Amino acid sequence: MKTKIQRRNKIKARIRGKISGTAARPRMTVFRSNKQIYVQLIDDLAGVTLVSTSSKGIEEGTKSEIAAKVGENIAKKAIEAGITEVVFDRNGYLFHGRVKSLADAARNGGLKF
């Protein structure tokens, strides 16, 4: 029997085999813990993180509302850095709940997936 982490790592490897980020179109990867959610825009060719943000310091609202605020923040930071298009990497998580609300808020903020 596989654990949740082993299952997610298998899905994550399958996804990462298909997508990759560049400087013009970086990979937007999401990590969620039980309390926080983190987002990074990564250029895989150079191996650097271009922009990142997290939910640390945001305390009001439900987890999905906080994730939406993080999505707005990453969109704002990305546009300031001159990034308009990204490749979304859900990092093995299902596309619902916090991950979906973050992605929708980033789209509404001006990022194109």
Walking along the chain (113 residues) 10 residues at a time, the average pLDDT comes out as: 89 93 94 96 95 94 96 97 95 95 97 94
In the chain, what are the domain boundaries?
4-108
**Residue 48, helix vs strand vs coil:** strand
Q: What is the pLDDT of residue 2?
A: 83
DSSP 45: T
d(CA 72, CA 107): 8
pLDDT for res 43: 95
> Which architecture does CATH list for 4-108?
2-Layer Sandwich (3.30)
pLDDT number for residue 51: 96
